[in-house]
Amino acid sequence: MKRMFFVVAAAAIFVSLAITSPAYAATHEVQMLNRNPDNAKQRMVFLPSYLQIAPGDTVIFKAVDKGHNTVSIKGMIPEGATPWKSKMNKDFEVTLKKEGVYGYKCMPHFGMGMVGVIQVGGDIANLETAKGAKMPGKAKKVFDEIFAEMESGE
Ligand SMILES: [Cu+2]
């Protein structure tokens, strides 16, 4: 009888935790790679380079290949959002709560177009501001492709 009570109590605690904690928040993975396995011509990439997540979700950047990091780009994240900067060659995890568009780069490969976008929620009010941020040639091309994909999906 005591054991039965324990099982019920444990189940009740589990259920209440599932409801009250952000158990619905998902985790997404972005790989940092020297080469896109789907397109050998594309070198130094985040995969996927465009990710849509819900507010409160976590993104894990996986240092699959060496020589990369992830840094949010000034002017390309929603106002009031916290910027991030990871260490080279290390996995990095960021939880994004504020809705909007987040542009980020790999510091050593920014000029080679190693950039990505995370869209949090449905509010893309800062997209135009993000588009106006300063970026080197190849990065601009990659961002333009991602933005076009975003806008066609809306
Ligand atoms: Cu890189």
The predicted-structure confidence for 12-34, as pLDDT tens digits, reads as follows 655 555 555 556 899 999 999 99
Distance CA 96, CA 118 (A): 9
10 found inside a domain: no
Token pair 């259920």 in the structure block, residue:
15
pLDDT tens profile 60-101: 999 999 999 999 999 999 999 999 999 999 999 999 999 999
Q: What CATH number is attached to the domain comprising 83?
A: 2.60.40.420
For residue 44, the CA-to-ligand 1 centroid distance in Å is 5
Neighbours of ion ligand 1 (CB under 5 A): 44, 68, 106, 109, 114
90 found inside a domain: yes
For residue 20, the CA-to-ligand 1 centroid distance in Å is 38
Domain extent, residue 34, equals 25-153
Percent of the chain with pLDDT over 90: 76
For residue 62, the CA-to-ligand 1 centroid distance in Å is 12
Mean of pLDDT over the chain: 90
5 found inside a domain: no
20 found inside a domain: no
